[in-house]
Structure 1
């Protein structure tokens, strides 16, 4: 037993510890928010799914909604740190344990692997499990956000960069001081060079997704009608200089090109489909690291309030399309668009008005900062309603057994 009281300690948007009970409650709440789907299937007839990046953000939403709405069985892959004597486990460690317990209670056969999704060793381990336990794979969701990737063929490690392309970018961003007071600042980011662009594409583009599909296809594990979706984001013109038109955007363009190539290949191979799923804005551990995104998301919430569509609701829509409950509809670039609620002209105009007038003095009137602060803290299991943070909690939670 290693019970202790955990208080939040953070450096900006990064927290040093996670709260197991808070992480568990958030996963339970997400599960309860998901409506059971009309095409739910259980037992050996349930769809077999692989969710790569299943412990956080939209990948977590994909795993939870797939289990709760569709009744999937299969495998989730993530890369998390175990608890130690000095530190708690990462938030994703506890979220995975909670997801596995809910799956067990619901009678879903869902296995969770902890390791480097970029490695060929993990691909082989997953393929072996699919072959031994399930016999086929119906769906693959790819949702990996990582700062670096080691190419398993060459051993070269690539590092991504958050930079504009072609010129210096000046953008407004939101930070909080040590007392939690908001500060709106302008930050300047120098442009990326060609090597930084190439390295970001190598990390965040479609190369690893394609390797996963190729590996599983080579093992003859893809079911007839197999579908795969890589999760992505386009975002607002307000953040385009640093995001969609920057190094990350170059990687996202590569991801979309990969989707089109995979779609043609899978259509011939097994009557399958490959798409990118463009999701809307959300507070995630990866998005808070991008300059301007915190300010934009807080202002968006100020405009939309409860009309923002949660990751769970968006992924429910995606599962409906992947499983045939609804038609799989894509735009001209082969993308499923789950972000239309965010990018309407009316919403973007309202956010732009607030963006232009936002200062340190006015930001509390323009953005929903209470919601944003709570959302950031909840990424680590804090500020979760119903949790007694003064009570000791068990931190030595085991990884789910297979």
Structure 2
């Protein structure tokens, strides 16, 4: 037993420990907020049908976690989630470690056969482990693969080359407004300049965040005869506002996202032999551990929340809509580039115009009025299991939570 009181300690938006009970409660709330499974005309849940087999690569955080919870709670998938999280040791485990344990417990409670694996999704060893599980446990066929991996580095299994992604503009340095909080939690609107990409920064970032690993997952499964007829795969992506485009969509990360979209088109052709499909899903803005690292995103999200209030669509609701499109419960709604668009609420012209006005006028004197700072701070804290309603943070909590066994 390793019970102790876990208190939030952080540097900026990075917290050094995570709260197990808070992380678990967050996952329970996500499950509760997921629309229930589709029902047939008799009004009964379709519990007797054989459940589809799904893989979620990057299942422990952000939109990958939302895809996992929505897949389980709304569709009732069986299958495997893959993530890379740190076990409890001198410090607590990572938040994703505790979220995975909570997701596994909920899946078991609701009778879903879903296995969680911890390791390097980029490596072929993990792909081989997943392939064996699909063969031995899930009938030898995969119906869906959702790809949602955000990582700083990747090693190419074929060449051994190590890639490192960077967050930089392309062509020229870029200065942007951003939001920071001092040690006492006071907000400050400041500006930061990011140097432009140089050398092979773009190639390196594409090597990590582009479509190469997604393609490898699909092809390795196909080589083993594990793709079901009608196999469908989606990689989760983001476009974002013109206000953040210089660092995101037009920057090195944007080059990687463009490569992801090219990969989707290539895979769509490849999967025709299976009657299958490949798409990218462009999701709307959310506070995630990845997004908070991008200069300007904190300010943008605070402004967006103040403008939209409860009109800001949670990730689990967006991913429920994606599952409906992937499974055929709703028509597949693609834009002219062949992408599923779940971000139209965010990028509506009137919304972006209002955010643009707020952005231009934001300073230290009015930021508390223009942006929902309390909401943003709370969302960041909840990434690590803090500030979750219903959790007693003064009580000791067990931190040595085991990774869910594949029973």
The two structures have a TM-score, normalised by structure 1, of 0.98
| Aligned with 2:183 (options 166, 178, 187) | 178
**1:398 correspondence with 2:399:** no
Q: Is the 8 A contact 1:41 1:71 kept in 2?
A: no
**Separation in 1, partners of 2:303, 2:159:** 44
**1:356 correspondence with 2:364:** no
Aligned-pair CA distance for 1:194:
3.9
Unaligned runs of 5+ in 1: none
Q: Is the 8 A contact 1:41 1:70 kept in 2?
A: no
**Separation in 1, partners of 2:379, 2:123:** 32
**Separation in 2, partners of 1:147, 1:19:** 24
Aligned-pair CA distance for 1:258:
0.3
Q: Is the 8 A contact 2:38 2:46 kept in 1?
A: no
| Aligned with 1:92 (options 93, 96, 103) | 96
**1:314 correspondence with 2:294:** no
Aligned-pair CA distance for 1:43:
6.4
**1:196 correspondence with 2:201:** yes
Q: CA offsets, 1:4-39, max 9 Å, x none?
A: 000000011000000000000000000001121216
| Aligned with 1:130 (options 127, 134, 141) | 134
**1:30 correspondence with 2:30:** yes
Map 1:168-247 onto structure 2 (within 5 A).
Answer: 168-247=173-252
Q: Relative to structure 2, which stretch is displaced further, 152-161 or 339-348?
A: 152-161
**Separation in 2, partners of 1:43, 1:160:** 45
Match of 1:11 in 2: 11
Residue 146 of structure 1 aligns to a residue in which SS?
coil
Which 4+ residue blocks in structure 1 deviate beyond 2 angstroms? 39-44
Map 1:66-77 onto structure 2 (within 5 A).
Answer: 66-77=71-82
Aligned-pair CA distance for 1:332:
1.4
Q: Is the 8 A contact 1:321 1:328 kept in 2?
A: yes
| Aligned with 2:374 (options 357, 361, 370) | 370
Map 1:22-61 onto structure 2 (within 5 A).
Answer: 22-38=22-38, 41-42=46-47, 45-61=50-66
| Aligned with 2:333 (options 311, 329, 347) | 329
Q: CA offsets, 1:130-162, max 9 Å, x none?
A: 011112100000000001111111112111000
User: CA, structure 1 residues 41+71, in 2 after alignment: closer, same or farther (shift >3 Å)?
Assistant: farther
Match of 1:342 in 2: 346
Q: Is the 8 A contact 1:41 1:47 kept in 2?
A: no
**Separation in 1, partners of 2:238, 2:199:** 23
**Separation in 1, partners of 2:331, 2:369:** 41
**Separation in 2, partners of 1:294, 1:160:** 21
RMSD (Å) for aligned C-alpha atoms: 0.9
The two structures have a TM-score, normalised by structure 2, of 0.97
**Separation in 2, partners of 1:131, 1:387:** 41
**Separation in 1, partners of 2:58, 2:330:** 25
Q: CA offsets, 1:250-284, max 9 Å, x none?
A: 000000000011011101x2000000000000000
**1:299 correspondence with 2:295:** no
**Separation in 2, partners of 1:383, 1:155:** 42
**Separation in 1, partners of 2:132, 2:395:** 42
Unaligned runs of 5+ in 2: 40-44
**Separation in 2, partners of 1:43, 1:116:** 35
Residue 341 of structure 1 aligns to a residue in which SS?
helix
